[in-house]
Amino acid sequence: MAFYGLRLEYALEVSSNHVFWKDRMEAMLEDNVLKEFIDNDIPKPPTSDAQDLVECKKFVGKMRRITLEGVRD
């Protein structure tokens, strides 16, 4: 099974594979041009620019999906 290129066997399992998972997750976010979200505080665009808000929400949603899909229950 794969999602955003991250295979299920690379999913985070409690703390047993944290370092390996962290490296994989950073690479996955970097491949999707989202690593800046974990490296920096990204200010929300001004509310007057609706298109920028839509783009920002899309990036945040994609980052959340990638991160959540990389964690096993």
Q: Provide the whole-model pTM.
A: 0.60
Contacting residues for 68 by C-beta, under 8 A, at least 6 apart: none
Q: What confidence tens digit (pLDDT) does each residue in 10-52 have? A: 566 666 777 787 888 888 888 888 888 778 887 777 777 788 8
Per the structure, the complete domain to which residue 6 belongs is given by: 2-69
Quick one: pLDDT at residue 4?
55
Domain total in the chain: 1
pLDDT at 1: 42
Q: What is the pLDDT of residue 64?
A: 86
Instruction: Spell out where 1-73 has E strands.
Output: 2-3, 6-7
